Amino acid sequence: MPQNLLEQLRNYTTVVADTGDFEAMEKFRPTDATTNPSLITAASQMPQYQELVDGVLKEARNEKGEHASDNEVAKLAFERLAVAFGKRILEIVPGRVSTEVDARLSFDTQATIAQARSIIAQYDQAGIGRKHVLIKIASTWAGIRAAEVLEKEGIHCNLTLLFGIHQAIACAEAGVTLVSPFVGRILDWYKKSTGKDYQGADDPGVQSVTRIYNYYKKFDYKTQVMGASFRNIGEIKELAGCDLLTISPQLLAELESTQADLPRKLDPQKAKSLPIEKIPMDEATFERMHAEDHMAHDKLKEGIEGFSAALVNLEKLLANRLAELESRTPTAV
């Protein structure tokens, strides 16, 4: 019986689950997993995870003390919850989990470094090796500078919300472990901007990831490329051979149920022979290229705002849950 698309994809590419749902991970058994505030918010509202959420809230309350407001406790609980989900995920996946720094810190290098150290300290305390954790940071100039410092400390980073070649080059020059170019969000921007539909290799998101992959392999950068944010399996098929691809449970299921031949599209040896020019990168070049790339500019801004809004919603949800929990707990006399 021929292999399905998912089985064939695993021959060339590390498959990552783009979900906070443990049951989906157990079903598809990805190598790695990644989460973000939106995914954690969705998972936090599932009945099967209420015990985990409640436990984190109680710990955060104990740490902050009885006089702290519900909102203060909720802020601490988000970071603790992200790590709690990460620890549970690592009971399922053999590789790495990505845990995200607060998107509201995306333009603050020092605050990003501080929160990343706090997150990794919790994993260290749980006895989880750093090779199993990626700190997820937005690909702003400030975020990339934070990642450069963290990588030198042995804290591995996943630079997310990446839309342009200038972001990718800056990340590789900074020595980051992994970048996550957002295929589907690039497609969304071009469809809205041009009114056209795009298929297969014509998809601008596919073209962006292909360009980044070839640039990295051409110039021997160690930074890995993980295509993310897919809208359909056609995009995934065009990126077979990418270092990693992070895929939603719905698209994993579609790949698993599809029988067809899946040729490798991205190949490091082919990239070596391509006529690619190296682009020197500094802050001025980065900012100029970012301003000129309207898609990257728009989608990075929108992405940071979206993740920040998701975080605000999650904190509200946690504060409400905490109030509900404490209203049911008898007050000590």
What are the C-alpha distances in Å from 198 to residues 99, 192, 261, 297, 302?
32, 11, 22, 21, 22
CA angle 14, 141, 37 (to 5 degrees): 55
Query: CA 126, CA 228: separation in Å to the nearest integer?
Result: 28
**How many helical (H) and strand (E) elements, i.e. helices and strands, does the chain have?**
15, 8
* 3-state SS assignment for residue 163: coil
Query: CA 296, CA 284: separation in Å to the nearest integer?
Result: 16
| Angle separating helix axes 5-12 and 249-256, nearest 10 degrees | 110
Plot region of 17 (φ>0 → left; ψ -120 to 50 → alpha; else → beta): beta
217 catalytic residue (yes or no): no
75, 136, 217, 299: which is the annotated catalytic residue?
Answer: 136
Query: CA 116, CA 31: separation in Å to the nearest integer?
Result: 23
State which amino acid sits at residue 233. I
Plot region of 175 (φ>0 → left; ψ -120 to 50 → alpha; else → beta): left
Q: Which residues does 141 contact at the CB level (< 8 Å), separation at least 6? A: 170, 283, 286, 287
What is the DSSP track for 18-82?
E-S-HHHHHHH--SEEE--HHHHHHHHTSGGGHHHHHHHHHHHHHHH-TTS-HHHHHHHHHHHHH
Closest residue by Cα to residue 269 from 12, 78, 86, 51: 12
Tokens of 254: 């579609």
Pairing of strands 157-162, 133-138: parallel
Q: Catalogue the active-site residues.
A: 136
